[in-house]
């Protein structure tokens, strides 16, 4: 298979307002692909379309060789047992302990004996450095720990594809460093494919093999981090370097300041 | 005028779309009944959460309602020299009407609002989406045990309400106002019919339980995933449940009495 995800001519709108327009995207097996863009650019919607949480209105989304448009719920669930997702809020089940959260996909989809489940869960927790936290409840974890537990849970069934929705948001520098290392490490060690949606430019560029830049629902640039760093496009430069002013103005469109001030109330 | 018509049309479409979503959710819950056998502990946990945790408030409320009934009943009955009929008045009012209705209102306020908030928050914190992504149907894992837990809990709670109500009525009527204890229990034993009173009371509480938990689950599942959205949904659960229970009580009473 030459691609894990293949999107052609994708369009998506909500209440008549276009969210994504003419998206073409291919994710090669074994790569870490990043979708970068400012808030509201349609990144999370794109991830939801890739994961089958939303269905494309126009165009084609293929996941591991299967078109998602008319896929039945049962077939979609079968596909999902081969993929994992790390949510922005970690999304741990709050009524289950750390151990049970990681064991949950194993219990739901396999008939493994309890002793084997225990070993697998402990190994997954060990890989994120939280074997000692197995008995804690989600409300006893810091944000960084919760995200690592969620990562262990996403890896529980040894997926072929791992999706990350804003994995670095709200993390302290140490947790950030750990997550960056884990994402790359899991991808290479487990030979899986990773798709990362983020607006944290520096962290993402450190681990991505290929980057798509999204702005107002369109892919405005694509390439390796090195290729993007050399681009002359002013919008790409402004976004990647975090410049306060440029093609995206500092000011929200407004009438002339003097006219606005002098206008009688 | 055109704007008014457009707004009316929009509201109408919204109402029917919501009704449709509500029915579809119920169908999906009923279709997932089989999951209960696999996840039996989840049902027990919900029976505990919705039922056991409501026992104190329901029993206490029943106790006070029974005491008030006894006081009011005694005042009226003694005017006609029929104070010995106090037992049957208290028991019939509780078993036929107040037990199922007030219990349903209390469950809507305590457990129904908590269910809506819990499911709304699970949606806000992406737990429902995470289940979907783990190829686990959130309706089977989250909603089905809550629905049947609530359905089973309601008649049991109504039983607690009526039992404590009768106890409260007895304490006020017999110990405080001096009604003969033998007459209190004897008339009750003679006058309360198992089929007409007890079974109809259980039927009512099952129907109310169905409706209250259905509303609570739908409002949580359909809520906007924001703190404001969950707040609105919780309020809607309590208001809609109360109105629906009172309206249904009239319809059921009329049907059961054969009017």
A77–B contact, CB cutoff 8 A: yes
d(CA B62, CA B205): 15
DSSP-assigned letters across all residues of A50-74: HTTSS--SEEEEEETTEE-TT--HH
Give mean pLDDT, residues B145-169: 95
Rounded to the nearest integer, the mean pLDDT of chain A is 90
Q: Is A39 helix (H, G, I), strand (E, B) or coil?
A: coil
Rg (CA), chain A: 21
β partners of residue A195: A33, A163
Residues of chain A positioned with their CB less than 8 A from the CB of B130: 85, 87, 91-93, 150
Q: How far is CA A163 from CA A130, A248, B33, B39, in A?
A: 21, 29, 32, 29
Tell me the pLDDT band of B125, cut-offs 50, 70 and 90.
very high
pLDDT digits (tens, 9 = 90+) for B1-25: 888 999 999 999 999 999 999 999 9
Task: For helices A143-154 and A173-189, give the axis angle rounded to 10 degrees.
Answer: 10
B126, B135, B137: residue with CB nearest A91: B126
- Residue A43: half-sphere exposure toward Cβ, Cα within 13 Å: 27
Q: Report the alpha-carbon distance of residue A44 to residue B3 in Å, rounded.
A: 36
Residue A110 touches chain B, beta carbons under 8 Å: no
Q: Using one digit for the tens of pLDDT, what is the confidence trace for B77-96? A: 988 888 888 999 999 999 99
pLDDT in tens, A133-155: 999 999 999 988 999 999 999 99
Ramachandran area for residue B162 (φ above 0: left; ψ -120 to 50: alpha; else beta):
alpha
CA–CA gap between residue B86 and residue B174 (Å, rounded): 9
Q: Left, alpha or beta for A97 (phi > 0: left; psi -120 to 50: alpha)?
A: beta
Q: Which residues of A touch B129 (CB under 8 A)?
A: 53, 87, 91
Lowest mean pLDDT among A250-259, B78-87, B108-117, B119-128: A250-259
Judged by a CB distance cut-off of 8 A, whether residue A248 touches chain B is no
User: pTM, whole model, 2 decimals?
Assistant: 0.85
Asked if A80's CB is within 8 angstroms of B133's CB, the reply is yes
Q: Is the pLDDT of residue A265 over 70?
A: no
Question: Given the DSSP bridges, would you call strands A17-27 and A32-36 parallel, antiparallel or unpaired?
Answer: unpaired
Q: Say if B14 is an interface residue toward chain A (CB within 8 Å).
A: no
Residues 6+ positions from B92 with CB-CB distance below 8 Å: B191, B192, B197
pLDDT one-digit tens code per residue, A49-100: 999 999 888 999 999 988 888 888 899 999 999 999 999 889 999 999 999 9
The pLDDT of residue A1 is above 90: no
Greater confidence (A242 vs A98) lies with A98
Contact A108 B135 (CB under 8 A): yes
Q: Does A69 touch chain B (CB under 8 A)?
A: no
Q: Give, for A210, the enclosing helix (H) or strand (E).
A: strand A210-215
Buried b (16+ CB within 10 A) or exposed e, B117-142: bbbbbbbbbbbbbbbbbbbbbbbbbb
pLDDT at A208 over 70: yes
- The tokens 């003097």 sit on which residue? A258
Closest alpha carbon to B213 in B252, B249, B232, B240: B240
Q: Do A104 and B127 touch (CB under 8 A)?
A: no
Whether residue A108 and residue B133 make contact (CB cut-off 8 A), yes or no, is no
Of the pLDDT bands very low, low, confident and very high (cuts 50, 70, 90), residue A7 is very high
Interacting residues of A203 by C-beta distance below 8 A, sequence separation 6+:
A168, A176, A180
Determine contact: B175 vs chain A, CB below 8 A.
Answer: no
Nearest by CB: B135 against A87, A92, A109: A109
**Cα A36 to Cα A205: distance, rounded to the nearest angstrom:** 9
Burial A96-111 (b: 16+ CB within 10 A, else e): ebbbbbbbbbbebbee
Say what the pLDDT of residue B191 is: 85
What does the block give as tokens for B219? 């409002």
Tell if the CB–CB gap between A77 and B126 is shorter than 8 Å. Answer: no
**Three-state helix/strand/coil letters over B62-108:** HHHHHHHHHHHHHHHHHHCCCHHHHHHHHHHHHHHHHHHHHHHHHHH
Q: Show the CA angle centred on residue A97, arms to residues A96 and A101, nearest 5°.
A: 70
**Cβ contact (<8 Å) for B135 and A51?**
no
Q: Contacts of residue A84 in chain B, CB cutoff 8 Å?
A: 133
Say what percent of chain A tops pLDDT 90. Answer: 56
Q: Per-residue pLDDT tens for B23-41?
A: 999 999 999 888 888 778 8
pLDDT confidence band for A249 (50 / 70 / 90): low
ipTM for the predicted complex comes to: 0.86
**Tens-place pLDDT, residues B207-245:** 999 999 999 999 999 999 999 999 999 999 999 999 999
- Please tell me the predicted confidence (pLDDT) of residue B153: 94
Instruction: For residue A24, give Cα distances in angstroms to A98, A226, B91.
Output: 38, 21, 72
Report how far apart, in Å, the C-alpha atoms of B122 and of each of A61, A149, B110, B200, B226 are.
Answer: 28, 18, 18, 37, 11
Chain A residues whose CB is inside 8 A of the B137 CB are: 77
The mean-pLDDT minimum among A110-114, A260-264, B143-147, B216-220 falls in: A260-264
Q: Model confidence at A193, in pLDDT bands (50, 70, 90)? A: very high
Q: For B134, which of A53, A89, A108 is closest by C-beta distance?
A: A108
Separation in Å, CA of A91 to nearest CA in chain B? 5
Q: Where are chain B's structural domains?
A: 55-133+156-257
Select from A85, A165, A166 the residue whose CB has the most chain B CBs within 10 Å, as the one to mutate to test that interface: A85
CB contact under 8 A, A105 and B130: no
B126/A89 touch (CB, cutoff 8 Å), yes or no:
yes
Return residues 77-136 of B near A (CB < 8 Å).
122, 125-127, 129-136
- Which residues of chain B have a CB within 8 Å of the CB of A51? 133
CB-based contact A77 B135, cutoff 8 Å: yes
E strand intervals along chain B: none
Can you state the percent helix, strand and coil of chain A, rounding each to 5? 40, 25, 40
What is the model's pLDDT at position A151?
93
Cβ–Cβ below 8 Å for B135 and A91: no
CB contact at 8 A, B85 and B77: yes
Quote the tokens at residue B208. 């109310």
pLDDT above 90 for A230: no
By the 8 A CB rule, do A42 and A215 touch?
Answer: no
Decide: B108 and B237 in contact? Cβ < 8 Å: yes
Q: Do A91 and B130 touch (CB under 8 A)?
A: yes
Q: Which helix (H) or strand (E) holds A193?
A: strand A193-198
Report yes or no: B5 at the A interface, CB cutoff 8 Å.
no
pLDDT value for A2? 79
Smallest Cα distance from B64 to chain A, Å: 35
Our separate counts of H helices and E strands in chain A read 10, 10
Chain A contact present for B38, CB below 8 A: no
Cβ pair A81:B135 closer than 8 A: yes
Question: B98-110: per-residue pLDDT in tens?
Answer: 999 999 999 999 9
Q: Are A212 and A36 in contact (CB under 8 A)?
A: yes
């Amino acid at each position: 298979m030459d691609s894990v995800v293949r999107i052609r001519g994708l369009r998506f709108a909500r209440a008549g307002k276009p969210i994504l327009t003419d998206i073409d995207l291919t994710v090669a097996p074994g790569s870490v692909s990043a979708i970068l863009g400012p808030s509201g650019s349609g990144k999370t919607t794109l991830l939801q379309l890739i994961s089958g949480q939303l269905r494309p209105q126009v165009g084609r989304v293929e996941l591991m060789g299967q078109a998602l448009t008319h896929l039945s719920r049962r077939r979609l669930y079968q596909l999902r047992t081969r993929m994992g997702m790390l949510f922005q809020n970690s999304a741990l089940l709050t009524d289950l302990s750390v151990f049970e959260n990681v064991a949950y996909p194993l219990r739901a989809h396999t008939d493994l004996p309890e002793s084997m489940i225990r070993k697998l869960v402990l190994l997954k927790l060990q890989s994120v450095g939280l074997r000692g936290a197995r008995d804690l409840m989600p409300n006893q974890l810091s944000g960084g720990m919760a995200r690592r537990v969620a990562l262990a849970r996403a890896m529980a069934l040894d997926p072929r594809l791992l999706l990350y929705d804003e994995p670095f948001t709200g993390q302290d520098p140490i947790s950030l460093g750990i997550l960056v290392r884990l994402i790359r490490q899991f991808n290479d060690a487990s030979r899986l494919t990773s798709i990362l949606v983020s607006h944290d430019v520096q962290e993402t560029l450190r681990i991505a093999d290929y980057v798509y830049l999204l702005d107002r629902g369109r892919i405005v640039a694509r390439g390796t981090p090195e290729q993007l760093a050399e681009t002359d496009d002013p919008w790409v430069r402004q976004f990647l370097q975090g410049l306060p002013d440029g093609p995206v103005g500092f000011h929200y469109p407004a009438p002339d300041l003097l006219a606005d001030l002098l206008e009688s109330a | 005028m055109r704007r008014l018509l457009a707004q009316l049309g929009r509201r109408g479409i919204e109402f029917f779309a919501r009704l449709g979503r509500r029915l579809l959710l119920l169908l999906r819950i009923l279709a997932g009944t089989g999951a209960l056998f696999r996840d039996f502990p989840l049902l027990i946990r919900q029976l505990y959460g919705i039922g056991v945790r409501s026992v104190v408030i329901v029993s206490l409320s029943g106790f006070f309602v029974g005491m008030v009934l006894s006081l009011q009943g005694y005042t009226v009955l003694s005017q006609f020299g029929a104070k010995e009929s106090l037992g049957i008045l208290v028991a019939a009012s509780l078993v036929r009407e107040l037990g199922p209705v007030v219990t349903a209102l209390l469950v809507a306020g305590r457990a129904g609002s908590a269910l809506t908030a819990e499911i709304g928050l699970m949606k806000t914190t992406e737990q429902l989406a995470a289940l979907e992504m783990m190829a686990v149907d959130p309706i089977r894992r989250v909603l089905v045990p809550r629905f049947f837990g609530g359905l089973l809990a309601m008649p049991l709670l109504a039983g607690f309400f009526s039992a404590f109500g009768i106890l409260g009525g007895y304490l006020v009527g017999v110990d405080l106002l001096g009604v003969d204890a033998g007459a209190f229990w004897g008339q009750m034993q003679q006058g309360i019919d198992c089929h007409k009173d007890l079974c109809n009371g259980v039927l009512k509480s099952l129907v109310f339980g169905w409706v209250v938990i259905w509303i609570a689950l739908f409002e949580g599942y359909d809520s906007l995933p924001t703190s404001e959205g969950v707040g609105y949904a919780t309020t809607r659960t309590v208001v809609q449940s109360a109105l629906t229970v009172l309206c249904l009580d009239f319809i059921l009473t009329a049907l059961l009495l054969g009017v």
